[in-house]
Amino acid sequence: MFCMNCGFKNQPGDQFCAKCGAPLIAAVPQTWQCANCGQVNPIDANFCGSCGAPQPAPAAAQPGATAQPAGPKQNLLKAATHKLASYAGEDVDLDINLRNLFSQVTKKHTTAEAEQIFIAGTPETTPTIGELSADWGRPWLFSRIFAAFAIVFALLYIILAQLGNPNAVGGIIMVGAFAVPFSGLVLFFELNAYHNISIYSVMKIFFVGGALSLLVTLILYLVVPGASLTSYNLANALGIGFTEEIGKALIVAYFVRQLNPKTLLTGVLIGAAVGAGFAVFETMGYDYHFSGSVPSLLSVVFTRAWSAPGTHMVWAAIEGGGLLAAKRAKPFAWSQLVSGKFLPFFIISWALHAMWDWRETFGLGDTIKYIVLIVIAWIVVFTLIAAGLKELRRLQTEAQQAA
């Protein structure tokens, strides 16, 4: 079993990681045994296939506890995420505890633990389906990457703003553009439960895919009607969103064709890598335009940094997950980009992008509007991840039944 804290491969039956000492999180059981007749049933079966007895409640459930009915907002969110997951081909509701998900961020970790996370995705380091944990991961390395960027940025700021040395402008532009998208990409890398893509492949997609998607987008701007960067009314915002999301989706599809992934989580990671690269190169361009004035440069850097978690990286991650919902284990075909599985996720990314660029704030102000859009985007991403983990459990069940 692989440790969710440091990634070390432990021996079967171990309760604690031999590398870092963290408790090992067992994979979610894939079957349950009927207490009435002894029949072994798949975990997704609500009733015994032999005698019809119901599946027992989870051990963690409290006897006698009464479930509280969900309010209208919870019901609406549950229905929306359930529908999204159904487009991804999985019957699952979004049930996530963010405090638990990010519980390892505040814990102390060693350099060896950080390095262990990146040792993944090669033939020797990719775990088998039975060794994987279908529980939510506990990412933390992304926060250390972001902290390192923040420290470097602070040093460059001192050189530029306090010592008056303009040679730091290039560093300010680069570090400011990389900090959030790159850290976010590490988060997606940690959340890929399959550990089946190496950091080398992810970096190749990040740099090459980011530049390619930017190039394709600029070419599309020459031919797509209604896509204009001169104004940001609703029509132009729809044109801009369509053009840029098509550009990223085509490059995501290119790398899916090259790597031939078969699972939702892998598609989400590939999409995030393309989108993060696009975000970095686009931001560096914007920063450069305002580099003549230190206050203007810093304003643009900070604005694009805090808003980056809800833009190109997550929009492309949604498209990557949607494409794998259409592809699954089948050979890649370009027709999958117009399938009923992919299009709902593309439309979501397009709509989020258009709403971001549209100057209408509905009385909320720009900041609140952007925060709302960031939250919506991450709800979609987390729904795809939940569907991906459900897919993993299903694949583990199928592997057990075939063994």
Average pLDDT on 319-337 reads 96
C-beta separation of 55 from 30 below 8 A: no
How high is the pLDDT of residue 69?
52
- 340 vs 3, residue with greater confidence: 340
- 375 vs 39, residue with greater confidence: 375
Average pLDDT, whole number, for the chain?
Answer: 88
How high is the pLDDT of residue 271?
98
Residue 271's nearest CA partner among 220, 309, 221, 322 is 322
Average pLDDT on 178-183 reads 97
How high is the pLDDT of residue 298?
94
Helix and strand counts by DSSP (H, E) for the chain = 13, 2
How high is the pLDDT of residue 4?
57
- pTM reported for the whole predicted model: 0.82
C-beta separation of 156 from 168 below 8 A: yes
Residue 391's nearest CA partner among 260, 252, 259, 266 is 266
Q: What does the chain come to in residues?
A: 403
Q: Tell me: the pLDDT tens digits for 226-280?
A: 666 667 789 889 999 999 999 999 999 999 999 999 999 999 999 999 999 999 9
Type of residue numbered 177 = A
Task: Please enumerate, as own/partner, the contacts of 198-202 that have beta carbons within 8 Å and a separation of 24 or more.
Answer: 198/120, 198/121, 198/122, 199/118, 199/120, 199/121, 200/121, 201/121, 201/259, 202/269, 202/273
Average pLDDT on 3-21 reads 67
On the question of pLDDT at 36 being above 60, the answer is yes
Element (H, E) at 42: strand 40-42
How high is the pLDDT of residue 13?
65
Average pLDDT on 16-35 reads 63
- 224 vs 308, residue with greater confidence: 308
If pLDDT is split at 50, 70 and 90, which confidence band does 61 have?
Answer: very low
Provide the percentage of residues in the chain whose pLDDT is more than 70.
Answer: 83
Which token pair is 286?
């914007």
Give the burial string for 58-87 (b: 16+ CB within 10 Å, else e).
eeeeeeeeeeeeeeeeeeebeeebeebbeb
C-beta separation of 183 from 150 below 8 A: no
If pLDDT is split at 50, 70 and 90, which confidence band does 78 have?
Answer: confident
How high is the pLDDT of residue 15?
67
What are the φ and ψ backbone dihedral angles of 33, each rounded to 5 degrees?
-100, 130
Give SS3 for 261: coil
Which token pair is 289?
């335009």
How high is the pLDDT of residue 76?
78
